[in-house]
Amino acid sequence: MADGATGIEGSARRRLTGMDRNTIAPSLLVLGLGVLMSIVLPSIERDAPYRHPLRHDQVAELAAGITLVPTAGWDLATGALAGHTRSPVGTTATTEIVDGGVKFVVQAAPFAATPSALLRRIKQISARLDRTRGSSVATRTYTVRTTQGAVGVGQDLVGVSRQGSVVAFVFRLRGRATGEGVEVVASGPKGSISRRRDDIVAMIRSIRATS
């Protein structure tokens, strides 16, 4: 059969360390691409610092019609700042604010029941996930109130080396049949999260419905 016009075909008998010579360079190119995407880029990303710390005047848009005032100096890892994005923020959205090893993650999505029901749902999911990623001990539930007056329920979680809090709210927004559930999970190493307790409480209390 006709062969060899492109170099891909080459001669199967020309070998280098047991491999067909003509397959080595392109295969290594693909392998290199895989290593770049799965190892090199994630490694560069892990070591890269945030260059845009949050300022006092900035407001995070958690979902359409719900905002939060982040603590200045923390970094917005995922999410949108009100008035700073072209894409609209939908009713289902994730916001992640970080400082050191502490993560403050807010998940918003439509939810048609009470904050207690939302917390129960979150705990059910967590209990199922605990079977795969290790468990934590939960404290009693308590009431949380935002400065706007919205009432949510919270619970603290303590693991082996990390601890945190889960807080659930359900906001009733004007013009929407279904409420908007908001889940806040603040977690981090025990010492780090204790030092940032006031920041975390302030951010939770700043959550407000804007419509």
Partner 1 sequence: MSALSTDRRRAIEQSGWGERFRLIQPHNLAFWVYCLLVAGGAVVIAGQVSIAAAAYSGALTSGIIAFGLLAAAYLWFIHHEDRYTTVPRGLAAAGFVWGFVGATGAFALLGNDAVINLSAKALGASFAFDWGPALAAPVNEELAKGAGVLLLLLLAPRLIRSPFDGLILGAFIGLGFQISEDISYAWIGAANSFGDIGAAWGTIFARTLASIPSHWMYTGVFGAGLVWFIGRPDVPARRWLGAGLMLTAMLMHGLWDASAAIAGDNVISVVPGIVACLLISLFIWVYENSVGTEREWMRELMTPEVRLGVVEPEELEAVAGDRAKRKNYIRSQPNPRLAAHVIEAETDLAHQIARDGGADTEAVRSARAAVARARVI
Closer by beta carbon to partner 1, 82 or else 190: 82
Query: 56 CB contacts (<8 Å, ≥6 apart)?
Result: 72
- What character string, x for contact with partner 1 (CB under 8 A) and - otherwise, covers 165-204? ----------------x-x---------------------
Query: 108 CB contacts (<8 Å, ≥6 apart)?
Result: 62, 63, 66, 91, 92, 93, 94, 95, 180, 181, 182, 183
Q: Is the dihedral of CA 137, 141, 145, 146 positive or negative?
A: positive
Number of CB atoms found within 10 A of residue 151's CB? 12
Closer by beta carbon to partner 1, 29 or else 158: 29
Q: Does 105 bind partner 1 (CB under 8 A)?
A: no
Number of CB atoms found within 10 A of residue 105's CB? 19
Q: Which helix (H) or strand (E) holds 17?
A: none
Smallest separation, CB 104 to partner 1 (Å)? 13
Smallest separation, CB 194 to partner 1 (Å)? 26
* Token pair of 28 as six digits: 């290594």
Q: Does 143 bind partner 1 (CB under 8 A)?
A: no
Binding residues for partner 1, total number by CB under 8 A:
65
Positions touching partner 1 (CB under 8 A) are: 1-6, 8-9, 12, 15, 18-20, 23-24, 26-31, 33-34, 36-38, 41-42, 44-45, 48-52, 75-81, 84-88, 92, 94, 107, 109-111, 118, 121-122, 124-125, 128-129, 131-133, 181, 183
